[in-house]
C-alpha cells in the first residue's frame, strides 16, 4: 500500500446496517449460499490453505483481501473446482453450495460451473466474435433457437453494461475491444448461463481506473440477483463494493465479518496492520 494512510472508513459503502449485525458462523449457517467448512488445499505436497471456514450469504458481495500469496485465489478456485485442471492439486474439507458439498465425488462439475461462474484477473476473450464469446457457455448448456440465443446474448451484455458499446460490433472479434470492455465481455459470457454465484479473481487489477469503476458499478447492480465473491488487492475497492470481508494470511482466514467492522474495528491485530498499510 501507499505511504499515506487513506481514510478507508469514508469510502465504505454500507453505513450502519452491517455494523449492527455481527455474524458468527453458526448463526449465519442456515442462510448461507456458500458454507466453507474446514477447507484445506494442497499443491502437490505443498499446503496452501489451512482449515478455512467462511459463510457467504446470498445476494451479498464478499471481498477476500490479503497479501500476495496468502491463498485468496486458491480459496475461491475450490468453489468451482477449477483447480482440477492440474492433476496433482487437491482440496479437503467441504464447500457447501446450498447445502451440497461441491467437492463431493458425485457432483456434476459441468452443472456446478454453470451455477458458479468465474471472472479472471486478465480478460480471457476467446478467439471468436463478440457474439460467439457470449454464446459460448449458452451453447454448452442449452439448446436455443437463433432468436432465443440472440435475446439471451443481448440480455447478458446488458447485465454487464456492455450492450450499448458493442451492439454494432457483435460480429467483430472480441479481441478488438478495449481491455475494460474485454473484461466486461467476460462478465457477460459468465452471466449468460445464468449462474447463482459469481467468483471474481482480481477482476480489475489489469485494467484502468475508469473501466474499473464501470465494473464496480456493474457488481453493485448484479448483487441483487447473484452472490458475488471478489478477490482483490485493492483495499479501497473491497471497502467500496463489499458487504463482508475475509482477511487471509498465510493460507488461513484471519478474520471474517462485515466489511465495515473489518475496516474500522478489526478484532485481530494482523488485520489492522494489513489494513492500515503496516505490511502487505
Partner 1 sequence: MKRRSRELRKLKDLLVKLCSMGAALTGIVFLFWILSEVAIRGGSALNWALVTETPPPPGGTGGGVAPAILGTVYMMALGALLGVPPGLLTGVYLSEFARGNRFGAIVRFMINMMMGVPSIIMGLFVYAVLVLTLGHFSGYAGGVALALLILPIVARTTEDMLALVPNTLRESALALGAARWRVTIGVVFRSAQSGLLTGVLLAVARVSGETAPLLFTSLNSPYWPQSLNQPTANLTTTIFNFAMSPYHSWQATAWGASLLITAAVLLVTILTRLMLQGSKR
Q: How many CB atoms lie within 10 A of CB 3?
A: 5
State phi, psi for 255 to the nearest 5 degrees. -155, 140
* Integer angstrom CA distances of residue 176 from 103, 118, 168, 242, 266: 38, 22, 13, 31, 44
Closest by CA position to 280, among listed 21, 123, 90, 67: 67
Give the Cα separation of 160 and 166 in Å (integer): 11
Whole-number minimum distance, CB 206 to partner 1, in Å? 11
Chain centre to alpha carbon of residue 32: 16
Binding of partner 1 at residue 193 (CB under 8 A)? yes
- The C-alpha atoms of residue 235 and residue 211 are separated, in whole angstroms, by 17
Using the rule CB under 8 A, is 43 a contact of partner 1?
no
Using CB under 8 A as the binding criterion, the count of chain residues that bind partner 1 stands at 29
Contacts of 170 (CB under 8 A, 6+ apart): 129, 130, 131, 153
Q: Is 140 in the site for partner 1 (CB under 8 A)?
A: yes
Residue from 141, 155, 223, 252 in contact with partner 1 (CB under 8 A): 141
Residue 113 or 240: the one with the smaller Cβ distance to partner 1 is: 113
| Grid coordinates belonging to 180 | 475494460
- Nearest CB to partner 1, comparing residues 1 and 144: 144
> Please, which residue, 8 or 190, has the CB nearer to partner 1?
190
Q: Per CB under 8 A, which of residues 224..263 are in contact with partner 1?
A: none
Cβ proximity to partner 1: between 23 and 113 the closer is: 113
127 belongs to the binding site for partner 1 (CB under 8 A) = yes
Q: Which of 184, 189, 214, 260 binds partner 1 (CB under 8 A)?
A: 189
Residue 184 near partner 1 by CB under 8 A: no
Q: Tell which one of 82, 94, 144, 213 touches partner 1 (CB under 8 A).
A: 82
Minimum Å gap between C-beta 113 and partner 1 is: 4
Cell of 190: 459468465
Q: Is 72 in the site for partner 1 (CB under 8 A)?
A: no
Instruction: Give the three-class secondary structure for 50.
Output: strand
Instruction: Confirm or reject binding of residue 124 to partner 1 (CB under 8 A).
Output: yes
Under DSSP, the state recorded for 207 is S
Binding interface with partner 1 (CB under 8 A): 80, 82, 85-88, 109-114, 117-118, 120-122, 124, 126-128, 136-137, 140-141, 186, 189-190, 193
Amino acid at each position: 500500500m501507499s505511504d499515506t494512510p487513506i481514510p478507508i472508513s469514508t469510502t465504505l459503502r454500507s453505513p450502519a446496517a452491517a455494523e449492527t449485525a455481527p455474524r458468527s458462523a453458526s448463526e449465519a449457517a442456515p442462510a448461507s449460499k456458500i458454507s466453507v467448512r474446514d477447507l484445506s488445499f494442497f499443491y502437490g505436497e505443498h499446503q496452501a490453505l489451512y482449515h478455512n471456514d467462511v459463510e457467504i450469504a446470498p445476494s451479498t458481495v464478499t471481498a477476500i483481501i490479503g497479501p500476495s500469496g496468502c491463498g485468496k485465489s486458491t480459496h475461491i478456485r475450490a468453489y468451482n473446482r477449477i483447480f482440477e485442471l492440474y492433476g496433482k492439486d487437491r482440496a479437503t474439507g467441504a464447500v457447501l453450495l446450498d447445502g451440497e458439498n461441491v467437492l463431493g465425488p458425485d457432483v456434476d462439475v459441468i452443472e456446478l460451473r454453470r451455477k458458479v461462474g468465474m471472472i479472471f484477473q486478465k480478460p480471457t476473450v476467446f478467439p471468436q466474435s463478440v457474439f460467439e464469446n457470449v454464446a459460448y457457455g449458452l451453447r454448452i448448456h442449452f439448446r436455443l433457437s437463433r432468436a432465443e440465443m440472440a435475446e439471451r446474448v443481448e440480455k447478458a451484455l446488458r447485465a454487464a453494461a456492455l450492450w450499448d458499446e458493442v451492439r454494432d460490433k457483435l460480429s467483430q472479434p472480441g479481441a478488438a475491444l478495449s481491455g475494460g470492455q474485454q473484461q466486461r465481455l467476460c462478465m457477460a459470457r459468465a452471466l449468460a448461463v445464468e449462474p447463482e454465484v459469481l467468483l471474481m479473481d482480481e477482476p480489475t487489477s489489469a485494467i484502468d481506473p475508469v473501466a474499473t469503476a464501470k465494473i464496480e458499478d456493474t457488481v453493485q447492480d448484479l448483487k441483487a440477483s447473484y452472490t458475488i465473491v471478489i478477490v482483490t488487492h485493492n483495499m479501497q475497492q473491497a471497502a467500496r463494493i463489499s458487504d463482508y470481508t475475509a482477511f487471509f494470511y498465510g493460507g488461513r482466514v484471519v478474520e471474517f465479518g462485515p466489511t465495515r467492522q473489518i475496516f474500522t474495528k478489526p478484532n485481530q491485530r494482523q488485520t489492522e496492520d494489513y489494513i492500515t498499510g503496516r505490511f502487505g
